[in-house]
């Protein structure tokens, strides 16, 4: 059995945050899968909510997607939704599943596009480099994207503060801990959102 992860991104009407958060808290327990975390964007594209869920297999993930698509009121948020996007992922095989709990005040979602044919060697390079980098600040997970533009991968990091984020990233480069060997040359695109966990998020 292979656990798959879904990131559902809601673009919501400006200043509808409180209403959306209340609706999601009520709707997500019956939406399918296991809620890993729910986050609001603070740096990057604003008025976005990111929902990270785990599914036992592809059938369970597809069933939840179909339920969402057929709903007249997706996640109880139709009144405030501008757009909705779902993306499925597989955890890098050497990593442990993301765990609930307090990991940091801020969560950074970084998505990297890769040159063709380099995903396998990228995973191996991360396997070698992650332990030292994880010791500085938690790597919540790194995930291969299974749909949409390919290849690309998502990596999520937790920090106690934005100042800590800047310091740890600079220290990792200075010490030669990060980025992984050959990493920058393999990338084609990079995007980053810094998010805060919602009050009901299992990961906070």
Give the model's confidence band at 12: pLDDT under 50 very low, under 70 low, under 90 confident, else very high: very high
pLDDT at 108: 99
Please check whether residues 33 and 81 belong to one and the same domain. yes
Give the model's confidence band at 44: pLDDT under 50 very low, under 70 low, under 90 confident, else very high: very high
Q: Within a domain: residue 67?
A: yes
In angstroms, the Cα distances linking 19 to 44, 83, 119, 196 are 21, 16, 40, 17
Please check whether residues 116 and 179 belong to one and the same domain. yes
Cα of 174 vs its chain's centroid, Å: 26
Find the mean pLDDT for residues 130-149. Answer: 97
Please check whether residues 112 and 191 belong to one and the same domain. yes
Find the mean pLDDT for residues 20-33. Answer: 99
Dihedral Cα 19, 47, 101, 58, nearest 10 deg? 100
Please check whether residues 118 and 54 belong to one and the same domain. no
Please check whether residues 8 and 58 belong to one and the same domain. yes
186 pLDDT higher than 80: yes
2 pLDDT higher than 90: no
Q: How many other C-beta atoms are found inside a 10 Å radius of the C-beta of residue 70?
A: 8
- Average pLDDT over the chain reads 98
User: For residue range 53-108, what is the model confidence (pLDDT) as tens digits?
Assistant: 999 999 999 999 999 999 999 999 999 999 999 999 999 999 999 999 999 999 99
User: For residue range 168-183, what is the model confidence (pLDDT) as tens digits?
Assistant: 999 999 999 999 999 9
Q: Within a domain: residue 97?
A: no
Find the mean pLDDT for residues 41-56. Answer: 98
Find the mean pLDDT for residues 11-16. Answer: 98
pLDDT at 120: 98
Report CA torsion sign: 104, 183, 132, 92. Answer: positive
Look up the domain containing 164 and give its range. Answer: 106-195
Number of domains in the chain: 2
Dihedral Cα 41, 198, 22, 85, nearest 10 deg? 40
Q: How many other C-beta atoms are found inside a 10 Å radius of the C-beta of residue 102?
A: 10
Please check whether residues 120 and 53 belong to one and the same domain. no
User: For residue range 190-199, what is the model confidence (pLDDT) as tens digits?
Assistant: 999 999 999 9
Question: Distance (Å, rounded) from C-alpha 34 to C-alpha 17?
Answer: 22
109 pLDDT higher than 80: yes
Burial 15-46 (b: 16+ CB within 10 A, else e): ebeeebbebbeeebeebbbebbbbbbbeeeee
pLDDT at 1: 64
Cβ contact 164:138 at 8 Å: no
């Amino acid at each position: 059995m292979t656990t798959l992860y879904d990131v559902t991104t809601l673009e919501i009407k400006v200043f509808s945050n409180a209403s959306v958060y209340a609706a999601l808290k009520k709707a997500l327990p019956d939406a399918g899968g296991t809620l890993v975390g729910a986050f609001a964007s603070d740096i990057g594209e604003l008025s976005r909510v990111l929902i990270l869920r785990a599914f036992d297999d592809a059938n369970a993930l597809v069933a939840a997607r179909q339920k969402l698509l057929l709903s007249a009121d997706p996640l109880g948020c139709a009144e405030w939704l501008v757009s909705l996007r779902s993306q499925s992922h597989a955890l890098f095989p050497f990593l442990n599943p993301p765990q609930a709990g307090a990991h940091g005040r801020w969560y950074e979602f970084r998505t990297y596009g890769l040159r063709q044919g380099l995903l396998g060697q990228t995973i191996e390079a991360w396997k070698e480099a992650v332990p030292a980098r994880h010791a500085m600040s938690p790597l919540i997970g790194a995930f291969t994207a299974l749909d949409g533009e390919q290849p690309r991968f998502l990596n999520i990091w937790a920090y106690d503060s934005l100042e800590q984020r800047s310091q740890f990233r600079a220290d990792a480069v200075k010490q030669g801990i990060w980025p992984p060997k050959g990493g920058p040359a393999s990338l084609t695109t990079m995007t980053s959102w810094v998010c805060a966990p919602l009050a009901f998020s299992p990961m906070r």
